[in-house]
Amino acid sequence: MRSSQDGNCLRVNMIAALCNQQLVAPFTVEGFCNRSVFEIWLETCLIPRLRSG
């Protein structure tokens, strides 16, 4: 956790997929992870990296 200017800690969350023991499409966000954040990660990070088949 990092400290903000007022001395409080900031929450940093990470989302990633695991494929063949490697992290794929890592994404970090300051604050809480909610449905909107998860959907943005799916649309912008994970889905573009998926292969058909």
Question: pLDDT digit string (tens) for 18-44?
Answer: 999 999 999 999 999 999 999 999 999
Question: Domain residues of the chain, as ranges?
Answer: 2-49
How confident is residue 52, by pLDDT bands cut at 50, 70 and 90?
confident
Q: Give residue 4's pLDDT.
A: 59
How confident is residue 7, by pLDDT bands cut at 50, 70 and 90?
confident
| Count of CB atoms situated within 10 Å of the CB of 8 | 10
Q: What's the pTM value of the predicted model, to 2 decimals?
A: 0.73
